[in-house]
A and B are shown apart, each in its own frame.
Chain A
Amino acid sequence: MLEQARHVFLGSLRMQLRDPLTLLAMVGLPVLLQPVALYAAGELRTRDARQGREATVVIEAPAELEELLLPRDRVEVVERGWQDPEHPEVQARVVLPQGDAPAEVHYDSTHSASGRAHRRALRVLRRQRRADMEQRFEDAGLAGRHDEVLPVDFEDVASTQEREGGLLGRLLPLMLVFLAMNGGVSTSLQLVTGERERKTLETLLTARVDRRAVLLGKFMVVVLVALITAAMAVTTLWACLAAGLYSAPGDAIAIPTAAMPLLLLLLLPLAVLMSAVFTVVAAYVPDFRTGQFAAVALLFLGLAAAGVAAFPAIQPSYALALAPVTNLALVMREALVGNYPVGILGLTLAATAVHVALALALGARLLAREEVLYGGGRAADRRARGGFVPDVLGIFLVALLLLWFLGQRVQGVDLLWGMVFTQVVLVAGVAVGALVWLGQPVRETLALRRPHSVDLGLAVAAGLGAPGLSALVAAAQEPLLPSSSAFLQTLEQSMTLDASLPVVVLVFALLPALCEELLFRGALLGLLRRSVGPVLACLVVGALFGAVHLHLIRVLPTGILGVVLCAAALRSRSLWVPVTIHALHNGFLVLASSLGWFGDPPLWVLLLMAAVTVGAVALVGRGSRSASAG
């Protein structure tokens, strides 16, 4: 079989190396794009530093303060009475009157250079204030610093090189993961999905070749392309830094020498894992177009997993060494700052080997299935009824952009009416509008049918327990994603309005429950269910529901709640069941916020509430089915 796989590998590699797109992803992006990006980043930083030096602050100060201010901070001291704020090179102006009149700082908050000058002016004022205080203490016969209870001096012991290395360490894994994935994704799609569409896969499988050898040979090509892409990225990065292309202010930047081979070593399992996943996806998707959308979704997932390494607070651990992609990104980050955790590195490599084996085993099983070979069977049937995966992603993207750019602004102007506009127009409107645009039956797709009374009762139980489920997930993710108190305060404030409680409940609990369910469990789930199986549809719509909440710490709790709501919708075949659960969940949170109930309930209470929700949703649909069977 290995000999056959070698022939498939060599033949497929020859074809891929003649593909301009593959060459662009493999060589063009890392070699051309990366130096440009690094040079641009270095230039920006240098210009930023230069601009910082040249910030001009004009001080109108009494003559006796001139000596205090002049030697420091690169500020210009002018005579009192200077009246030319429109002077182009002046970025801020400080007026220091004599006597007890307050000091004035004039600056333009919309201009970054002026903002920098403003901060510099504040430093000047702070120093002047301290000098005044010291003078007064001295006049009173109290020598020393008495203006602060605990004087603090800060000193960053990290060198510029270390600081820049740390920055690169946080960003580089993201870039490497992206490039490795980008190199593998188009190759896998062309070698598997593309071949199936061009019917060359059929020709290949009539030859005396084991199907596992076909998969292995193609998989090896994807690995090689991904690996070359990632290696090119590392080498180009190293060459750029060595050539001084990235000219940061201060010392020159260099990656530790030992990190280079380790980076390459870590890129191998990364490339293998990504290639295995992409090959499996390419084998499973019904056509090339769906494959491209699946690839984009996978790229985002991979970047999200690697993005964990960008948080300095998240340190490598044995638990995280089991998380695919995240584990490799974390070890890469540590290597770039000269830290090599051997035990975690070993577990990371072992876990990745298991992930790869699982992905390949799944791929081998998939390739043996007839519908994968011909895009036939259930996959073709779903496609015939409408390949709605791209449409679902498109609708979600439109809603997300509208919420981000329009919804938040409107709510900033008027929270109450902004919320009504956001939910009715940007959420429910997009859902219904998209179905009309696609020519889909609105009522049927949204499952707007009367629920069975038993299901409605179960929905009430599930809704009452749902806040416990969300809180439980939030508590579980606390070690990884600590919920900042500032965020929680913002959340509470956003729900505290100068309006009566019924209005608040209506606008923040019932309206979002209805509108968001119309979009997520109605349009998105209804369309996606025609293209993929129920489990995948629930997971995808749940993930989208989590992502739309626009804050990292809310993604997982709302995502899991979204999956539960999807399950309730599919099992009951009525949108009113998830609407009920969602409304009760939101209602509980709004009441808790309004009445000041926010606290820390015991773990057993959360567990009990979560169990009630999951149990109730698991029972949804049974009553209606047994009734219809009877």
Chain B
Amino acid sequence: MIEVRGLTKRFHSPRVVTAVDDVSFRCEAGAIFGLLGPNGAGKTTTLRMLATLLAPDEGTATLSGCEVRQDPTGVRGSIGYVSTTTGLYGRLTAREMITYFARLQGVTEPRRRSDELVERFGIGPFAHVRCDRLSTGMRQKVSIARAVVHDPPILILDEPTSGLDVMVARSFLEFVEQARDEGRCVLFSTHIMSEAERLCDRVAILHQGRILADDTLPALREASGHRYLEDIFVHFVQTARDEDA
């Protein structure tokens, strides 16, 4: 469903910084793939390349059969993207926001689809409230509805629980599990180990733009000799530092 090979991205500001260095992984339908790494590891840059917001300098990435550089529109049509910031238009109501994106995504009956999502995510009580007056939890619900308005087979979630309180974060994680059960391919970036441990079928540990390990959680436990993901993460990062030294 998502196949990434040798993806590389450099920034020139003013010295050349390689934010993502030869990253490769594969993410299947009906599975949650976790990108685990500290701030600045290159998670967001990787996801932005997959969402066609940034162009890779090297490598290829194919999502639902569409390559990011050759068919960016096709890629965007097959993904739902949720980032740390909810990215909602403050002057639109919750329902208007969903309908607007339904139209942009080319949904045939945008109003009907909007009504469906309003009901499904429990947005009804605040559907006519402007987004800038919504609470964080309400905004997150609208953001999810906006992301799945065109029923995408792939979800790209960039630290989506960052800044959410426990109840809202828990509700969001339930949605992610539900998306997997519906057969969607979920690419989930986080630096919260407990989330990755709970959700991910497969985890890639990203550090300084490079993937240090990519496997299922049991396999990572076996390879590192540690039980908890935090210890596993530290093990691989420390090993990489030792090798670099």
Q: Which residues on A are within 8 Å of B, measured CB to CB?
A: 4, 7-8, 11, 14-15, 18-19, 198-200, 202-210, 370, 373, 376-378, 380-381
Contact = CB atoms under 8 A, between A and B. Distances in A.
B81 A208 contact: no
Contact of B11 (A205, A209, A376): A376
B105 A207 contact: yes
22 contacts: A7-B100, A11-B100, A11-B103, A15-B91, A15-B92, A18-B91, A199-B87, A200-B87, A200-B88, A203-B87, A203-B88, A203-B146, A205-B53, A207-B105, A208-B104, A208-B105, A210-B73, A370-B54, A377-B11, A378-B13, A381-B13, A381-B14
A400 B79 CA distance: 54
Interface of B: 11-14, 51-55, 73, 76-77, 79, 81, 83, 85, 87-92, 96, 100-101, 103-106, 146, 150
Contacts of A208: 73, 76-77, 104-106, 150
Given A8-B104, A203-B81, A14 B96 contact: yes
A45 to B, nearest CB: 43
Contact of B91 (A4, A19, A380, A381): A19
Given A203-B146, A208-B73, A7 B103 contact: yes
Given A15-B91, A199-B87, A373-B53, 18 more contacts: A7-B100, A7-B103, A8-B104, A11-B89, A11-B92, A11-B103, A11-B104, A14-B92, A15-B92, A19-B91, A199-B83, A200-B87, A202-B53, A204-B104, A206-B53, A208-B76, A370-B53, A377-B13
4 smallest beta-carbon distances between A and B, as pairs: A203-B87, A206-B81, A381-B13, A208-B77
Nearest to B51: A206
B216 to A, nearest CB: 29
B100 A202 contact: no
A202 B12 contact: no
A203 B149 CA distance: 13
Task: Give the residue among B77, B79, B104 with the most A Cβ atoms within 10 A.
Answer: B104
B89 A7 contact: no
Contacts of B92: 11, 14-15
A344 B90 CA distance: 46
A189 to B, nearest CB: 15
Contact of A209 (B12, B54, B79, B104): B104
A103 B22 CA distance: 98
Contacts of B104: 4, 7-8, 11, 204, 207-209
Contact of A202 (B77, B83, B103, B150): B83
Contacts of A381: 13-14
A526 to B, nearest CB: 18
Contacts of A18: 91
Contacts of A205: 52-53
